[in-house]
Amino acid sequence: MKNVLCSLFGHEYEVSKNVTYHVKEYRCKRCNSEMTIDGNGKFIPLTPKFKEINSVLNRIHNKRLERGRKILMVNH
């Protein structure tokens, strides 16, 4: 369902999830429509397919962070 304010003024998105440093998921504060950023930096609707891609990206991202921490510990 579309919010009247959203169709008049556009959506008011806020970040709902940080997927990676560059990819985030956004949700409209008024109508809860969800958007994300694809690999090309385009703002696109967050479809179930992209939700899945983002969750995979997020897992890889977190693994990298973990590995980074371990490497730091080894270097010390």
28 touches Zn ion (CB under 5 A): yes
- Residue pair 22/35 in contact (Cβ under 8 Å)? The answer is no
**Distance (Å, whole) CA 32 – CA 29:** 6
27 touches Zn ion (CB under 5 A): no
Question: Partners of 27 in the beta sheet?
Answer: 14, 34
Rounded least distance, CB 71 to Zn ion, Å: 42
Rounded least distance, CB 65 to Zn ion, Å: 32
SS3 (DSSP) at 38: coil
Rounded least distance, CB 11 to Zn ion, Å: 3
Catalog residues that contact Zn ion under the rule CB under 5 A. Answer: 6, 11, 28, 30-31, 33
